[in-house]
Amino acid sequence: MRVLIVDDEPLARARLAALLGECSDVDVVGSVGDGEAALDALGELQPDVLLLDINMPGMSGTALAQRLAGCKRPVVVFCTAYESHALHAFELGAVDYLLKPVRLERLNEALQRARQRLQHAPRDTGGYLHGRLRGEQVRVALDDVICLLAEEKYVVVQHRGGQLLLEESLKQLEEAYADNLIRLHRNCLVPAQRLLGLKTLADGRVLARLGGTELMPEVSRRNLPALRKLLRMS
């Protein structure tokens, strides 16, 4: 199980990492000091679990958890010195709430609850998209895809390694990968696991917040209700 530690105190991060070293089947994939850094790291590190502090400079732990409310993973375990946020934490979908100093026994309990949550979460079907890059046939894993954009005769796949051109239409891709891709507007599909939340601008436009990228595609009014429903159900 892949774990990312998020805490603004270096000593707290070090202690959690040491405790996790005593837990079985755990891989600490990263350790960051604030919510924004955690959000930026999600796409690259692909953690299963966040050990998340609440009071941090910039984006708080609860604000980060709110952004992740539409994701099936990572699941959140709060680690904090304050009891007063517990109710709100569970309302945000946290699997456990640990008080500092964290004890090994309680950490193991929280990790077991996280495993159970992940086991019951719907699994991604995986697979590859096949296209052309500089005239050659290549493929890209669906897990690496950020978004698909329709441009003239082709569909451009934005992925973690760059871009790929596909000859299929968005409609064909949407039907072929119905369990993986969701539509933001008539010219854009994104992997469902990338969708972290929605941001409404002052002019009324709505943007999609995607994991692992600063790209925020616009959401059409037609597709907005379905996306909001999906985020509520996740």
- What was the pLDDT predicted at 66? 80
Residue 124 has pLDDT above 50, yes or no: no
Domain boundaries along the sequence of the chain = 2-120, 128-233
CATH of domain 2-120: 3.40.50.2300
Distance CA 101, CA 57 (A): 20
Domain 128-233 adopts which CATH fold? Answer: OB fold (Dihydrolipoamide Acetyltransferase, E2P) (2.40.50)
Average the pLDDT over 37-51 and give the result: 85
Order the strands of the 206-210 sheet from edge to edge.
195-200, 206-210, 218-219
Average the pLDDT over 128-134 and give the result: 79
Q: What percentage of the chain carries pLDDT values higher than 70?
A: 94
**pTM of this prediction?**
0.57
Read off the pLDDT band of 26 (50, 70, 90): very high
Residue 121 has pLDDT above 70, yes or no: no
β pairing state of 2-6 and 27-32:
parallel
> Per residue in 149-201, pLDDT tens?
998 788 999 998 888 888 888 988 888 888 889 999 999 999 988 888 899 99
- What was the pLDDT predicted at 125? 45
Residue 72 has pLDDT above 60, yes or no: yes
Distance CA 61, CA 63 (A): 5
β pairing state of 75-80 and 96-99:
parallel
Read off the pLDDT band of 224 (50, 70, 90): very high
Q: Which residues pair with 125 in a beta bridge?
A: none
String of b and e for 32-55 (b: at least 16 CB within 10 Å)?
bbbbebbbbbbbebbbbbbbbbbe
Q: Which CA distances in Å does 63 have to 39, 86, 114, 119, 145?
A: 11, 14, 20, 25, 25
Question: Which residue do the tokens 């072929």 mark?
Answer: 176
Name the percent of the chain in helix, strand, coil, to the closest 5: 35, 35, 35
What are residue 147's phi and psi, to 5 degrees?
-165, 165
The reply to whether 2-120 and 128-233 are identical in fold is: no
Average the pLDDT over 37-60 and give the result: 87
Residue 64 has pLDDT above 90, yes or no: no
